[in-house]
Amino acid sequence: MVSFSSNNYLALAHDPRMIAAAREGLERYGVANCESRLLGGDMEIYVNLERKLATLKGKDSAMLYATGYLTNVGVLSALPRSGMLPRVYGFRPTKRHKYAYFSDESNHTSIREGIALSGIPKLTYAHCDMEDLRKKLKSSSATTKIIVSDGVFSMDGDIAPLPDLIQIADEFDATLYVDDAHGTGVIGATGGGIGEHFGVNSPRLISMGTLSKAYGAIGGFIATENYISDTLRFTSSAYGFTSTMPPDQVYAVTAALDIVKNEPERRERLWDNQRYFVERVEALEMPLVSKETCIVPVLIGDEEKCERSAYELSERGFHVDSILYPAVKRGKARLRFNMNAHHTHAQIDELVGALGDYR
């Protein structure tokens, strides 16, 4: 089948240069590292990749994790605990800190699970509703506030209002954590993600990204200020108490970063396909949940009808995900179409024709 469900946005996962780079990593280092980077598993290849990722995000430093899921779970569970580390060395704070998370209701499951593991209170604000976020921040008695949002929301395909989030973080002296998994490598003039898309950055911003989407491999990272990454390396269990990325994946991602930087035509093809698909679906007068990104969900509503539509599309040779409760609210079932740089207009025409038959 032709997949319209893959996160392999730039069609790099099967690129011969990626395969060659991964093969070089396998030949040199074997199939795995088999160690934590805090012990015997640190190598220059990880440090070099972190430097590239920090530069991509305009930050001082970056930290690699084995997956994007582990990144969110590992960082968000550890951030509030990190302040306890200096006490081991005799430091006593002048005031008692009280933490609270402020999380968009549509955030990814890994964000919600990371916050839950922290043991810190969470206040949920309405999706991309900045007034509701302000209201909850204002009413909170927390001394240390952490705002958390997806950059591109995976089920809706819309983009978080990053400039507004930074402004609010400044207003309430808060830290801002943005999961830019679906934006990194895809949006922005050079694929820098949501920050580059809006032309903003902030020392308050911790930018998270994955390497399993636009870059066609596996892994996750945060890009942040040195003092945050230096602390998290010792307090984040998902970094220090598990094996890290396999070396072949580090080689592949390093190659992918150069390909994405040097071949902007890949993003151009991707966005051309996105615009073409949106125009064709709008001509059918089918409701789109969003048309801002390469995730283009078509609202179906009824869950049984949505599942049946996905099955009928598969019978015509197209793999499309049906998104149902609890991933979305009841009555909001949708077909989620993920555009890819290697899709052709002919494939999109055939897909939309099949979609029109089953609406």
Catalytic residue among 154, 207, 229, 236: 154
CA distance linking residue 305 with residue 302, whole number of Å: 5
Give the number of other CB atoms < 10 A from CB of residue 127: 16
Give the number of other CB atoms < 10 A from CB of residue 83: 15
Is residue 253 within 8 Å of residue 217, measured between CB atoms? yes
Catalytic residue among 213, 309, 332, 343: 213
Is residue 182 annotated as a catalytic residue, yes or no?
yes
Residues 6+ apart with CB under 8 A from 129: none
Residues facing 9 on adjacent strands:
none
246-to-8, 48, 154, 218, 222 alpha-carbon distances in Å: 19, 15, 26, 9, 18
Q: Which tokens is 217 given?
A: 């491999």
The alpha carbons of the chain give a radius of gyration, in whole angstroms, of: 21
Give the number of other CB atoms < 10 A from CB of residue 258: 12
Catalytic residue among 182, 197, 332, 343: 182
Is residue 213 annotated as a catalytic residue, yes or no?
yes
Torsion sign over Cα 296, 302, 307, 312: negative
Active-site positions read 154, 182, 213
